Amino acid sequence: MTALRICFVGDAIMRGVDDTVHLGWPERLCTKARKEGHEVTLCNLAVRRRTTAEIARRWRAECEARLAFDVPGALIFAFGVNDMACDADALFRASPARSEITARKIIEEAAAWKPVLWIGPAPVAERITAEAAAHGLEPAYHDKRLTMLAPAYGAIAEDLGVPFLDLYAALAGEERWAQCLEAGDGVYPDGDGYGLIAEIIGQWPAWRSWLDGGVKS
């Protein structure tokens, strides 16, 4: 049995927005771990619409307040969708270059402090772009931008020696995910979509190594 307290830091997909049972994927992931006999404590610190810059300003203080010294602690990060979104007159809320620089800073500092897993951004529905164009509007969220950001994040993770799960690659073209986005609002899935994310992460060797091998922090 592994005893572990985990801080989940990210944006709305990690928060579980539009999940009618208010679990999201972190709670589903940790519930399964607890059913397997692991003593996993969840601290979901995700906040809707937060960019990497906004996360960078707050993650350390919020995690330090929750990770006690008597229990092994770890960190899971997931962000990026909001960086690639438009905001008012700005083409990006955070440019790809700025997003990569800030992400590296966050993950590098975090990995020097505690064990870290990094989850890449999930795809959003193409119809978000199409519907905006039909009304002469710039779409708030861009799926194609994420096809560039996810590999860039992966390269940073490899350079830092941090396990990275390319959630975009895992979900792109997945019919079940597309259906879950349609059942949601095109950016956030329904509960089944969060369940799918939890399934993918739950089978990830890096996550399994935390549970099966234990974590020292």
CATH superfamily membership of 3-207 = SGNH hydrolase (3.40.50.1110)
Amino acid at 20: T
Bridge-based pairing of strands 116-119 and 39-44 is unpaired
- Among 80, 147, 64, 168, CA closest to 113: 64
In this prediction, residue 134 carries a pLDDT of 54
In this prediction, residue 213 carries a pLDDT of 84
Tens-place pLDDT, residues 24-74: 999 999 999 999 999 999 999 999 889 999 999 999 999 999 997 777 999
In this prediction, residue 56 carries a pLDDT of 98
Residues of the chain short of pLDDT 50, as ranges, are 132-133, 137
The residue assigned the tokens 């399934």 is: 199
- Put the strands of the sheet holding 3-10 in their side by side order: 39-44, 3-10, 73-78, 116-119, 164-165
In this prediction, residue 154 carries a pLDDT of 98
